[in-house]
Structure 1
Amino acid sequence: MRRRAGADNRFVMGDLLRYGAFARTHGAIARGYGATARAFPAQR
C-alpha cells in the first residue's frame, strides 16, 4: 500500500503541476482524493 500511495502521489503531482495555479488551490484536495485529480485531466 505504501508503494501505491507513493506512485499515486507522483502521478497526481505531475498532473497538478500541469495546472499550476489550479493545482495550488486544489493541491490538498487532489492529494487526498487522488482519483479526482485523475478525472480533472480527463474532463479537460
Structure 2
Amino acid sequence: KKMAEFHPDKYQNLPESVRQLIESQAQQLNEARTLLKSYLDNN
C-alpha cells in the first residue's frame, strides 16, 4: 500500500529534488519489504 503512495510516476511534475526524495523513500520501502519477506520465508 505504501509503494502506491510513493510510486515515482505519480510525481513526475514535481521538482527534481522532491522526486529524488520520493524515490529514496520508495527504495527504502522496497528494501524493507525484501528483508521482511526473506525473514518470513526462512521462519
Q: Which has the higher helix share?
A: 1
Q: Same fold (TM over 0.5)?
A: no
* Larger Rg belongs to: 2
Which is bigger in relative contact order (C-alpha 8 A, separation at least 6)? 2
Q: TM-score, normalised by structure 2?
A: 0.44
Q: TM-score, normalised by structure 1?
A: 0.43
